[in-house]
Amino acid sequence: MTTMVRIISLANSPRRETFHVPPPDFRFDWGFHDASTQLDANLVHDQRQNIRNTRSIMTQAELGCYSSHVNVWRAFINSDFQQLLVVEDDVYVDWPMVELICKHNWEELGVSYLKLFAKIPATFRRLRGGWPFFYFHLIQYTSMPLGTQIYLLSKNAASMLEKSGRSVSRPIDMYMDRPWSTGVPIIGLFPPVAIEVSMPSSIGHERYLSHDNSLSAMLNYYTYRASEKLRQAAYVVRPHSISLSQKSDDMAVTP
């Protein structure tokens, strides 16, 4: 299995000195990806839709974060690698477990987006216990878990997300974690294989201070939220189940 591992980090960031890098014998191609600090020229910020979706405008740092992930996807799509593991530089990674994960062809098992850390205790359905590793559980998220700290994508999923995400109208994790819109189911492993380091976010929280509280903005926002809740409910009722192949049982291992 050829897995491309990229760690998103600002160039010359001091975090690169403290980041828990893979061990010397890590068997997969890994490296730092210089994060963007502004919106990529090939992306368009739909500010009107952004306000409708979130009641706020994305900050420059959020636009840069969005661009960083899209640029990693593009590099992967144009490469010969089969799957991509994206890591942000504010997590502590269980690299031996991640190496086991990277060995498997997840798309072949019906998983195109594997989320390895979540920010929100989102709703989910349990797909299988003790798989693919002993004491781990494979789950499918049915609401937004959020966070882009560490995740794996197949080439098909990366292509779908890159194509439909060229118009930017919400932060990157909100965009990726709406399977009822993207068509890409979010599969997760429990327990997580990474821990977010407790430090202030370099993105900041300025957008939460810029909410438009006008009557028209509030009406647009809550109308959108109602339609979004209906789409999410329909997704839960009609699950986009994955189909695990029989040979997947042979891949279960005890770490």
Ordered structural domains, the chain, with CATH: 3-251 (3.90.550)
Token code pair at residue 250: 């042979």
Q: 137-141 and 124-129 as β-strands: parallel, antiparallel, unpaired?
A: antiparallel
Q: Which amino acid appears at position 210 of this protein? A: S
In 3D, which of 165, 200, 19 has the Cα closest to residue 95? Answer: 19
pLDDT tens sequence for the chain (255 residues)? 699 999 999 999 999 999 989 999 999 999 999 999 999 999 999 998 998 898 888 999 999 999 999 999 999 999 999 999 999 999 999 999 999 999 999 999 899 999 999 999 999 999 888 877 788 999 999 999 999 999 999 999 999 999 999 999 999 999 999 999 999 999 999 999 999 987 656 565 555 556 667 777 788 888 888 999 999 888 887 766 666 654 455 455 444
In angstroms, what CA-CA distances link 106 with 54, 101, 117, 184, 234?
Answer: 33, 9, 17, 14, 26
- The one-character DSSP state at 91 is E
| DSSP assignment string, 15-57 | HHHHS-PPPTT--SEEEEEEPPSS--TT-EE-HHHHHHHHSS-
- The one-character DSSP state at 77 is H
Which residues contact residue 124 at a Cβ distance below 8 angstroms, ignoring those fewer than 6 apart?
139, 140, 141, 142, 143, 145, 188
In 3D, which of 79, 95, 96, 78 has the Cα closest to residue 87? Answer: 95
In total, the chain counts a number of residues equal to 255
Model confidence, pTM: 0.90
